[in-house]
Structure 1
Amino acid sequence: MDTRVQRSSRPTMADVAKAAGVSVMSVSYSFAQPDRVSESTRSKVFAAAEELGYSGPNRAAQSLRSGKFNNIAVVFSEKLTYAFEDAVARRFLSGIADACLDANAGLMMLPNSGRPGDLDRVRDAAVDGYIVWTTAIDDPILDAIAGTGKPACIQGGPVHEGLDLVAMDDIEGAVAIATVGLVGSTRPTVISVPWDRERRSDIRMDVAPEEAVFPVPRHRLTGYVRAVRDAGLEWNAVRVGIAAVNERSEGARLARLLLDVPASRRPDLVLAMTDELALGALDAVRELGCAAPDDVAVVGWDDIEASATAGLTTVRQSLFDQGRNAARVVLGLDERVEPVEWSIRRRTSTR
């Protein structure tokens, strides 16, 4: 005997219309635009739908027909776990999520690691727009996103035709924070965020900012160069440690390499491009038996929660507000990207 159960097919809108004695359009309006049908019609439609086990129109099919998905995508040039591990990235995503609540929209996260398939995954995503975490200046993903014709906003750069940009003025911010750090300094050094997709760690001198393919280190180095020269110092004597990852342990590792030299040649200032790297530098300063800021001053960038406790002088910017503003523009809730406010927080890590 065949004991297999014969399952009935999913009831359709036409089935509901027949059972309720109304048109298929009336069923569609009852679910999607209820104000366009009478209360009595809606009651008959919903009663028939309940009896048949019909839960409503197929949302995926509706989205494909209309081209609207009520989702936006965040495209990360970092590994996706970075979005949850890094304090700044978490704040940025929180701002995006807050805007999605305003629009009752969904949020999708897409990797942009440079691997095969990334372009197609991003281009074919079932979303209404994109937010791009800062990426390489020549990243082909930007042309792919622009080619979709959907709204998109880049955080931190680069500038790309057809895409909005939300970013603070990194050059002016770097000049301002470096000027504070350079008080009483004659031997500055730099710990930079990764420069390229390969994330190769290195220590170099006489660095030209345009060598960095990511806009954030390029712009911040440009500001550091200007401040160092304005202080009457030679930029070509400044050693730059390039981090492989933006992590506190990496900042400590590079700082030990840069600072573990005879006292007469030891840097007396670390210009770190993020608070994570700066906090690592402060760890290394203590490990080497030095004091901050008397022996070595340290500055950071972002003003994460741990920075105030550590007494770190830093650049304050709100990544939450940037994420929220970017998402609201992409979702059509705001007309334009707002200028990013920033300020310097002076604490005990500088003279």
Structure 2
Amino acid sequence: MVQVKLADVAREAGVSHGTASNAFARPGIVREEVRERVFAAAQKLGYAGPDPKGRLLRAGKVNAIGVATAEPLSYFFDDPFARVVMTGIAEACDATGAGISLVSAANQEQLSWNIRSALVDGFIVFCVDGGSRLVELTRERKLPFVALDFGFDDESISVIGIDDLAGARLAAQHLAELGHRRFAVLSMPFSDEPPNGPASYEQAAQAVYSGTRHRIMGYFEELDAYGIDRSSVAIHETDNDVPSVEAALASLFSDAVVPTTVLAMSDKMALIALDWLRDRGISVPDQVSIVGFDGVPEGAVSEPPLTTIAQPMKEMGRRAVQAIRGFDGTLLRETMNVELVLRGSTANPPA
């Protein structure tokens, strides 16, 4: 089948190529009767209109932002943190008429192809597992990009994040002031290697991912101020998913002396812990207190409602869109505030 081109439509309508192009791209400057003649010729020849990709590429902008992760595509829908950030991104894109392109892959080969072929004006990068490779690939595109939840110490890229150390200190301080002295930590991964379960403070403090490392340091710096022996605090590295978190909890609560409080590095972990403890008849907060980290909506309606360190997730998404849309070549390094949100999952330790 012969492909019909715009030049064929112009010839059929008896107008110049430029007039035919304007009839589709800038109809307001073409007289109505001429437009109708062009559209009638297009219909007769079976011409659907100019390829929008070609027009956008010629203009140098595609009016779309790529949101990228090395996780599977389901991450954007399954992870509570990602869902809230995506809401902020979507609201900012709606306000400016920009589109969103989700870019992810289950393996590195797919990820490389997806990043290199994405038709976008810039990237917002969720830096979780595989974050360093993701940054490398987006940098190669030579388009603006901003990293969120960045897990690596790289001062050469734009990042919108939070003060993980300060947030962790707030959580530990709250529990210590309630009188707790038997602590356990459910940790995010230390690196892109599979989690190893129980870990020492020294191992956790050497975590490759800076977010994990800073939260561990914040917890322990605050506990030091209350005279709590570091060796008495159990740390379990998890993969921030149900199997690894439940395995950590099973280990923690099988000991003769169990913790009276759990510091969870994400609300997702904390919510898994609430369900696990409830299923085993362990009362929160009467027997165990739990503090999460993120401030996801599910925490406000859990049973009991979750005390957490809330970060401004939606605002982080909005700011990232603004940074891409208004990119002027300046490196952006923005640290946003967190706050302790007190709810029903924390109380004084049992007598």
TM-score by length of 1: 0.85
Say yes or no: does 1:219 pair with 2:214: yes
Residue 178 of structure 1 and its aligned partner are, at CA, apart by: 1.5
Per the alignment, residue 4 of structure 1 pairs with none
Q: 1:126 aligns with which of 119, 124, 147?
A: 119
Q: What residue identity is the alignment partner of 1:28? A: S
Q: Deviations over 1:50-85 (max 9, x none)?
A: 333322211233344444333322221322222222
Q: 1:86 aligns with which of 79, 90, 94?
A: 79
Say yes or no: does 1:73 pair with 2:33: no
Instruction: Confirm or deny: 8 A CA contact 1:74 1:107 kept in the other structure.
Output: yes
Per the alignment, residue 192 of structure 2 pairs with 197
- Superposed CA RMSD in Å reads 2.9
Distance 1:32 1:332 in 2: 25
Distance 2:107 2:165 in 1: 27
Q: What residue identity is the alignment partner of 1:108? A: S
Residue 346 of structure 1 and its aligned partner are, at CA, apart by: 0.9
Instruction: Confirm or deny: 8 A CA contact 2:130 2:192 kept in the other structure.
Output: no
Q: 1:312 aligns with which of 283, 306, 312?
A: 306
Q: Residues 114, 19 of structure 1: CA spacing in aligned structure 2 closer, same or farther, 3 A cutoff?
A: closer
Question: What SS is found at the alignment partner of 2:66?
Answer: strand
Residue 349 of structure 1 and its aligned partner are, at CA, apart by: 1.9
Instruction: Confirm or deny: 8 A CA contact 1:75 1:112 kept in the other structure.
Output: no
Per the alignment, residue 99 of structure 1 pairs with 92
Q: Residues 337, 25 of structure 1: CA spacing in aligned structure 2 closer, same or farther, 3 A cutoff?
A: farther
Q: Residues 139, 83 of structure 1: CA spacing in aligned structure 2 closer, same or farther, 3 A cutoff?
A: same
Q: 2:228 aligns with which of 233, 249, 257?
A: 233
Per the alignment, residue 51 of structure 1 pairs with 44
Q: Residues 342, 206 of structure 1: CA spacing in aligned structure 2 closer, same or farther, 3 A cutoff?
A: closer
Q: Deviations over 1:108-153 (max 9, x none)?
A: 2222556334334313322221111123697133133123221111
Per the alignment, residue 32 of structure 1 pairs with 25
Instruction: Confirm or deny: 8 A CA contact 2:190 2:212 kept in the other structure.
Output: yes
Q: Which stretch has the larger CA shift, 296-305 or 37-46? A: 37-46
Q: What residue identity is the alignment partner of 2:191? A: D
Q: Deviations over 1:189-208 (max 9, x none)?
A: 10012222233241112234
Question: What SS is found at the alignment partner of 2:251?
Answer: helix
Distance 2:156 2:14 in 1: 50
Q: What residue identity is the alignment partner of 2:346? A: T
Distance 1:111 1:70 in 2: 20
Within-5 A mapping of 1:1-351? 7=1, 9-111=2-104, 115-135=108-128, 139-157=132-150, 158=152, 160=154, 163-183=157-177, 184-247=179-242, 250-262=244-256, 265-287=257-279, 289-309=281-301, 310-332=304-326, 340-351=336-347
Instruction: Confirm or deny: 8 A CA contact 1:136 1:215 kept in the other structure.
Output: no
Q: Deviations over 1:300-340 (max 9, x none)?
A: 11233332232221112232332232123223399978753
Q: Deviations over 1:249-271 (max 9, x none)?
A: 64333122112212xx3222210
Distance 1:64 1:91 in 2: 31
Per the alignment, residue 3 of structure 1 pairs with none
Q: Residues 197, 112 of structure 1: CA spacing in aligned structure 2 closer, same or farther, 3 A cutoff?
A: farther
Distance 2:323 2:31 in 1: 36
Question: What SS is found at the alignment partner of 1:116?
Answer: helix
- Percent identity reads 32
Q: What residue identity is the alignment partner of 2:81? A: V
Q: Which stretch has the larger CA shift, 301-310 or 224-233? A: 301-310
TM-score by length of 2: 0.85
Q: Residues 208, 197 of structure 1: CA spacing in aligned structure 2 closer, same or farther, 3 A cutoff?
A: closer
Q: Deviations over 1:279-316 (max 9, x none)?
A: 23234444555433343221111233332232221112
Q: What residue identity is the alignment partner of 1:176? A: L
Instruction: Confirm or deny: 8 A CA contact 1:251 1:278 kept in the other structure.
Output: no
Q: What residue identity is the alignment partner of 1:126? A: L
Q: What residue identity is the alignment partner of 1:219? A: H
Residue 224 of structure 1 and its aligned partner are, at CA, apart by: 0.9
Residue 172 of structure 1 and its aligned partner are, at CA, apart by: 0.8
Unaligned runs of 5+ in 1: 1-6
Unaligned runs of 5+ in 2: none
Question: What SS is found at the alignment partner of 1:139?
Answer: helix
